[in-house]
Chain A
Amino acid sequence: MARARLSSSFHWMAAPAVIFAAGMIVFPFGYAIWLSLSDVALGADPRFIGLGNFARLLADEEFWNGLRLTLFLYVVSLSLQLVLGTWLGLLLARSRSAQGLVRTIMVSPFMLPPVVVGMMAIVILDPSFGIANWLLEQAGLPPGLWLSDPDTVMLTIAALDTWQWTPFVALIVMGGYLSLPQDVFEAAEIDGANGWWRFRRVTLPLLAPTLITAAVLRSVDILRFFDIIYLTTQGGPGTASTTLNILAYRRGFEFFDLGYASAIMVTLSAIVFGSVLVFTRLRRAVTW
């Protein structure tokens, strides 16, 4: 009797979550793929057109512009956050100071809703009354147009995301560093290795898996970056910040070009999954 109960299964406890996921994630995902293969006009029956939307994509100047901007944001933001995050994380680990108020300050930016970061940016970076330009003026530097200039808008957006998420990367790096066997670093120091050599040949290889974890987390968020752009510029000026996600949103929800918008979204998803896959492979290669 007891035996029978012991072998009993708890699988049914996952059933509600599985049903929910099937209805809210799997089915819509399939639906989105089907939409991307269809010509959908509001009020008319969708018509299957195969890869027609994707063919349109390849001929669309705005798609290539969006892809370029998405990759630009991705490369700039991710490199900035990894480099600054590693520097800051090691700094925190060395001074063992990520406690109390310091930690509160470190976690605050990435706990803020991105929309609030956008609202802050609108006021602080306003070309006419923002405090950023006032500070530049005091320092004798020329003022910037920030989000209003097609040439600087993407860099500004990358800077905003970097401000928000570098502390997160830093805390991950700090955690990774402190969990390493510290005698390795002591040994390297005793051997007389200089700082840069130690960093390149000892610290960095040991930290590589941690850094890749951080890179995966940030890749996913940066590639589908939406909130701050939509709030501050809505893709402008012109199309200077219309990344793929913004483009997909505008085509889908402002122009109701459902099939085409879905094709953009499916493409973007493929890019996200592809980058995660690459990093997962990479992690296997650098794990020691």
Chain B
Amino acid sequence: MVMRRLLRLADRIQLLIVLVILVLPIAWTFLSAFKPRTEVAAFPPRLFFTPTLENFVELFGRNDFLHNTLNSLIVACGSTLLGLALGAPATFAISWHRMSWPATATLFARMAPGTLFLLPWLLMFSAAGLVGSHLVLILTHAVITLPVVIWVLLPYFDGVPRELVESAQIDGARQDQILTRVVFPVVMPGIVVASILSFVFSWNYFLFALVLSGIETKTAIVASFNFIGEGVTNWGALMAAAVVIALPPLILTLLIQRRLVGGLAAGAVKG
């Protein structure tokens, strides 16, 4: 009995240590963002300070970071919508006809290194004069979101009773109506999870926008990468940028925590 209680205590202590290791770097970053500019890089590090918003004022005032954040939003929303528009009907067809090759094909896209596609895309989209546009970023990020949508939605579509679709057919519903009025409402929870994961994946993605964005379409992530390259780094503004970029994924995933790991691991089980 005593042994058991000791073991449980040991478990608690181990877990506590892990949680501290996970939280501290994030907490330190958030804390640093609210420090006066001169104290961010102070040594020894200051734990106590007068919190200020001057780093955010600097970030949004002197730099064009608001514009960059808007670009990130446009690209993430656009690629999520495109992923859903392409992926949701496709997943229904895949599920209904029990096709297996499309899922494998999208898994391939999820596994290939992004750099592999990037050179051909650069050549293709340069020829089309699209490099630097929002459209090219939305299209390329949809390559990230589409597999997410398909793999997350597939189990939900598989769970739709076939009779539901068949009785709608007997009632004379058109195929597109069956999809939008009969099937979609049933799989709505899956569509929410797929949308949030797609948004986060697209928001977090760095490589494609690094090469294919222009001055006007630079995303928040690419812009903050450029801060670092500017020689004298403004550490305060950099931490503020980290906070601005980190918040949307952290908040959004709070909503779907329970399904998060399943969603991320989707596809790997069968593949």
**CB of B177 within 8 Å of the partner chain:** no
Instruction: Check if B22 sits within 8 Å of A131, measured CB to CB.
Output: no
A224: which B residues are within 8 A, CB to CB? Answer: 113-115
A-B contact pairs, 10 of them (CB 8 A): A24-B143, A29-B117, A31-B124, A35-B119, A119-B228, A119-B238, A123-B235, A163-B25, A253-B119, A258-B119
Number of A-B contacts (CB under 8 A): 254
Per the 8 Å Cβ criterion, residues 102-156 of A in contact with B are: 102-116, 119-120, 122-124, 126, 128-129, 131, 134
Report the separation of the CA atoms of residues A200 and B104 in the bound assembly, to the nearest whole angstrom.
34
Within the complex, the shortest CB–CB distance from A288 to chain B, in Å, comes to 15
A103: which B residues are within 8 A, CB to CB? Answer: 257
B92: which A residues are within 8 A, CB to CB? Answer: 10, 13
Binds A, one of B7-15, B48-56, B57-65, B185-193: B7-15
Instruction: Check if B112 sits within 8 Å of A113, measured CB to CB.
Output: no
Contact with A along B134-153 (1 / 0, CB 8 A): 00000110110010001000
Interface residues on A, range: 35 or more
Instruction: Check if B120 sits within 8 Å of A28, measured CB to CB.
Output: yes
Binds B, one of A61-69, A73-81, A268-276: A268-276
**CB of B249 within 8 Å of the partner chain:** yes
Instruction: Check if A13 sits within 8 Å of B18, measured CB to CB.
Output: no
Contact with A along B77-98 (1 / 0, CB 8 A): 0000000011101101110110
Who on chain B is nearest to A232 by CB? Answer: B228
Instruction: Check if A17 sits within 8 Å of B22, measured CB to CB.
Output: no
Report the separation of the CA atoms of residues A14 and B249 in the bound assembly, to the nearest whole angstrom.
29
The tally of residues in B whose CB lies under 8 Å from a CB in A reads 96
Instruction: Check if B146 sits within 8 Å of A17, measured CB to CB.
Output: yes
**CB of B40 within 8 Å of the partner chain:** yes
Report the separation of the CA atoms of residues A214 and B269 in the bound assembly, to the nearest whole angstrom.
9
A25-B90 contact given A113-B246, A115-B206, A172-B265, CB 8 Å threshold = no
Per the 8 Å Cβ criterion, residues 3-39 of A in contact with B are: 5-6, 8-14, 16-18, 20-21, 24-25, 27-29, 31-32, 35
Report the separation of the CA atoms of residues A97 and B8 in the bound assembly, to the nearest whole angstrom.
12
A114: which B residues are within 8 A, CB to CB? Answer: 204, 206
Instruction: Check if B257 sits within 8 Å of A253, measured CB to CB.
Output: no
Report the separation of the CA atoms of residues A112 and B15 in the bound assembly, to the nearest whole angstrom.
21
**CB of A91 within 8 Å of the partner chain:** yes
**CB of A207 within 8 Å of the partner chain:** no
Interface SS of chain B: helix, strand, loop or mixed? helix
**CB of B200 within 8 Å of the partner chain:** yes
Q: A112-B26, A226-B115, A262-B116 are in contact. List 4 more A-B contacts (CB 8 A).
A: A13-B175, A134-B43, A134-B44, A213-B265
**CB of B268 within 8 Å of the partner chain:** yes
**CB of A71 within 8 Å of the partner chain:** no
Within the complex, the shortest CB–CB distance from B269 to chain A, in Å, comes to 6
A24-B142 contact given A94-B11, A175-B261, CB 8 Å threshold = yes
Report the separation of the CA atoms of residues A32 and B124 in the bound assembly, to the nearest whole angstrom.
11
